[in-house]
Amino acid sequence: KVHHKHGRFTAGPWKPAHATFYGGRDGSDTRAGACGYKDTVAEGYGLQTAAVSTAMFNGGETCGACYEVRCTDSPEWCKAGTAPLTVTATNLCPPNYQLPGDDGGWCNPPREHLDLTMPAFLQIAEEKAGIVPISYRRVPCVKLGGIRYTITGNKYFNMVAVTNVGGAGDVAALKVKGNKRVKWTLLQRNWGQVWQTSEDLTGESLTFRVMTGDHRKHTSWHVLPRDWQFGVTYQAPKNF
């Protein structure tokens, strides 16, 4: 595989799919989920988010990816003249094998489907539609500020949540290094964008290296100070 060291993530081709919505008008019940984000609003993703079908979720590897979505081929339900909507994949839309894929089991494999928050869905379509045909494409994630890291757990088992990732937006691999005894250590995906290691990371200034799905890498040097604390979010000065 080619490892791109330069350039930026570029938009992909438009693809046909369908979109539905979940949660309330205020975005309730959509702020957490299978990607490991605690509160998408507090973490900067807002309510412009989507739960994606199994075929798109890819075991959590797609978490954090950004998509441009437009309502198509449904003059009755699409809101005319609206700009494409940009959303972030922050959850999984689980399959429902008791219903056929074209009649209720919208997120059944191999369907590509986006289950939008209601506030996002209402920007492009009428609520009464329930489901609308869309075209969508992968686009770069534009973020304010640097990548953020939050460690929870304890000195014997660390869980690292990675948020606010620009460029491709997803995280394919994560490494950590301390300023003394901890050498470069590869973390394992726990779930979504939460990564784990049993390495004792306490008492050291920590550097993280993120590789996104397009194989670009970014290193956040000494983003956590030597006296870092569990549960505190630390933001790097730079992003992709």
CATH code for the domain of 189: 2.60.40.760
Q: Is 236's pLDDT higher than 60?
A: yes
Least confident piece of the model among 79-83, 147-151, 174-178, 227-231? 79-83
Residue 174 falls inside a structural domain: yes
Region 64-73: mean pLDDT is: 97
Half-sphere exposure for 176 (CA within 13 Å, toward CB): 26
Token digits of residue 154 = 């304890």
pLDDT one-digit tens code per residue, 88-102: 999 999 999 999 999
The residues near 62 (Cβ < 8 Å, ≥ 6 apart) are: 52, 56, 89, 170, 213
**How many residues in total does the chain contain?**
240
> Are residues 133 and 19 part of one domain?
yes
Q: What is the CATH number of the domain that holds 22?
A: 2.40.40.10
Region 41-61: mean pLDDT is: 96
Q: Is 44's pLDDT higher than 50?
A: yes
CA distance 107 to 114: 8
Nearest alpha-carbon partner for 194 in 149, 233, 162: 162
Note whether 130 and 175 are within 8 A (CB). no
Region 32-61: mean pLDDT is: 96
Q: What is the pLDDT of residue 114?
A: 98
Q: Is 6's pLDDT higher than 70?
A: no
> Are residues 160 and 130 part of one domain?
no
Predicted TM-score (pTM) of the model is 0.94
> Are residues 127 and 196 part of one domain?
no
Note whether 165 and 149 are within 8 A (CB). no
Average pLDDT over all residues of the chain? 95
Choosing from 77, 109, 138, the residue where a domain stops is 138
Residue 125 falls inside a structural domain: yes
The number of beta carbons lying within 10 Å of the beta carbon of residue 198 is 13
Region 28-32: mean pLDDT is: 94
Question: What's the domain count of the chain?
Answer: 2
Residue 127 exposed, middle or buried by CB count within 10 Å (0-12, 13-18, 19+):
exposed
Choosing from 138, 162, 193, the residue where a domain stops is 138
Q: What is the pLDDT of residue 1?
A: 47
Residue 10 falls inside a structural domain: no
> Are residues 94 and 186 part of one domain?
no
Residue 58 phi/psi, 5° resolution?
55, 50
> Are residues 133 and 164 part of one domain?
no
> Are residues 205 and 132 part of one domain?
no
pLDDT one-digit tens code per residue, 170-215: 999 999 999 999 999 999 999 999 999 999 999 999 999 999 999 9
Q: Is 45's pLDDT higher than 80?
A: yes
Structural domain range at position 198: 147-236
- Predicted confidence band of residue 5 (pLDDT cuts 50, 70, 90): low
Choosing from 102, 118, 138, the residue where a domain stops is 138
